[in-house]
Chain A
Amino acid sequence: MIRAALVAAVALLTGCTSPTIYSWGHYEDLLYVMYAAPGKAPPELQIERMEEDYQKARSLNKPVPPGFHAHLGYLYYQIGKADQARQEFATEKAQFPESTVFMDRLLDNLARR
């Protein structure tokens, strides 16, 4: 009841602002859990969720949000899958040219390992 009221209030407030540009999936939820309870969000699990989110976004014909592919790339990097990491950083760059400087830096770092 309490939570329902809060959710309704939030929905009311956010409802006034704008429609959703992006398909968010679990991106922010995973960010929260990976810091609050790291054991509950190991990279493998995050990757699985985010790949599902990505497929869902594609089926909805909606873009994934800024940082999504970069975060996914970073997760692949953490488990030693450099090729997938590289591919995700490149995808982030193609979707959002604003990320170019940072993505190129991460790609350079990967190349030097």
Chain B
Amino acid sequence: MKSGPGHLVLCVALLGVALAGCATKSYDYTNYRAHPPRSILVLPPLNESTDVKGTYGYLSTVTMPLAELGYYVYPVAVVDHFFKENGMPTAGEMHQAPLNKIREIIGADAVLYIVLKQYGTKYQLINSATIVTAEAKLVDARTGVLLWAGQLSAQENSGGSGNPLADVIAAMLQQAINQSTDHAHELARTANVQFAIKDHGLLYGPYHPKYGEDSKP
């Protein structure tokens, strides 16, 4: 049985997205540069996908990319707990919290709102596709001005090798692997690379060694 999972074709669509992104013109950072945040409050993502694990599966991947870009990122689970204790048990309610209250109570410079459009793995007979698509908005907490908006997405496909029996077995193996590891959660990290794409992602924050280098157009 030489046609095992190793023969599955792996395709990380993000590579294409990331490379294509470089060719298009830069994001308009006028508002961002006028209100440069030091700190970002990440709210639990609003989940419009069909997978109930989406909100927290995604939330647990967002601190690292933002902090490594140089921002102070509020402790996501403590914030989640704090909102829940204060009468906002769901992401939907948290996303409705008034900015002036967030500013007053938590002190955040900016709030990151994420809406999950797709999160999960779809299985067909011999193929599977894991897709993560999220829309993100960074809003200035003092003024409500939109600082940045972007789409974060990644897809991983596995397809057939042409040998039907081997493909079915490979697909079953793949499904077993994916179900035991929540593949979408891992793919979310790949999608988050898009926070850091030059001229399209976020600017560097104060804890990054290159802070300020991208502060002028």
Residues of A within 8 A of B (CB): 1-3, 5-6, 9-10, 13-14, 17-18, 20-22, 24, 27-29, 31-32, 34-36, 65-68, 70-71, 73-74, 92, 96, 98-102, 105-106
Q: Is the CB of B63 within 8 A of A65?
A: yes
Q: Is the CB of B193 within 8 A of A13?
A: yes
Q: Is the CB of B196 within 8 A of A74?
A: no
- Closest A residue by C-beta to B174: A2
| CA distance in complex: A5, B9 (Å) | 10
A-B contact pairs, 23 of them (CB 8 A): A2-B5, A2-B6, A9-B14, A9-B15, A9-B190, A18-B196, A20-B68, A21-B70, A22-B68, A28-B64, A31-B59, A31-B77, A35-B59, A36-B53, A67-B75, A70-B74, A71-B77, A92-B75, A98-B107, A99-B72, A101-B105, A102-B106, A105-B105
Q: Is the CB of A2 within 8 A of B73?
A: no
Q: Does B61 contact A (CB under 8 A)?
A: yes
B10 to chain A: which residues have CB within 8 Å?
2, 5-6
Q: How far is the CB of B141 from chain A (nearest CB, A)?
A: 11
Q: How far is the CB of A40 from chain B (nearest CB, A)?
A: 13
Residues of B within 8 A of A (CB): 5-6, 8, 10, 12, 14-15, 18, 38-39, 53, 56-57, 59-61, 63-64, 67-79, 81-82, 105-107, 109, 156, 158, 174, 177, 182, 185-186, 189-190, 193, 196, 207-210
- Closest A residue by C-beta to B196: A17
Q: Is the CB of A14 within 8 A of B107?
A: no
Q: Sorted from nearest, which 8 A-B pairs have the closest CB atoms?
A: A101-B107, A67-B75, A35-B56, A98-B72, A31-B60, A32-B60, A98-B39, A70-B75
Q: Is the CB of B78 within 8 A of A70?
A: yes
| CA distance in complex: A99, B63 (Å) | 15
| CA distance in complex: A22, B39 (Å) | 16
- Closest A residue by C-beta to B181: A3
Chain A: interface secondary structure? Answer: helix
Known A21-B70, A27-B63; further 6 A-B contacts with Cβ < 8 A: A2-B5, A20-B68, A24-B64, A71-B78, A96-B72, A98-B72
B105 to chain A: which residues have CB within 8 Å?
101-102, 105
| CA distance in complex: A6, B53 (Å) | 22
Q: How far is the CB of A113 from chain B (nearest CB, A)?
A: 13
A74 to chain B: which residues have CB within 8 Å?
75, 77-78, 81
Of residues A6, A10, A14, A98, which shows the largest number of chain B Cβ atoms within 10 Å of its Cβ? A98
Q: Is the CB of B14 within 8 A of A36?
A: no
- Closest A residue by C-beta to B106: A102
Q: Is the CB of A6 within 8 A of B156?
A: yes
B190 to chain A: which residues have CB within 8 Å?
6, 9-10, 13
Known contacts A6-B156, A31-B77, A36-B53: A67-B63 contact under CB 8 Å: yes
| CA distance in complex: A18, B71 (Å) | 14
Q: Is the CB of A65 within 8 A of B196?
A: no
Name the contact of B177 in the complex, choosing from A2, A18, A98, A105 (C-beta under 8 A): A2
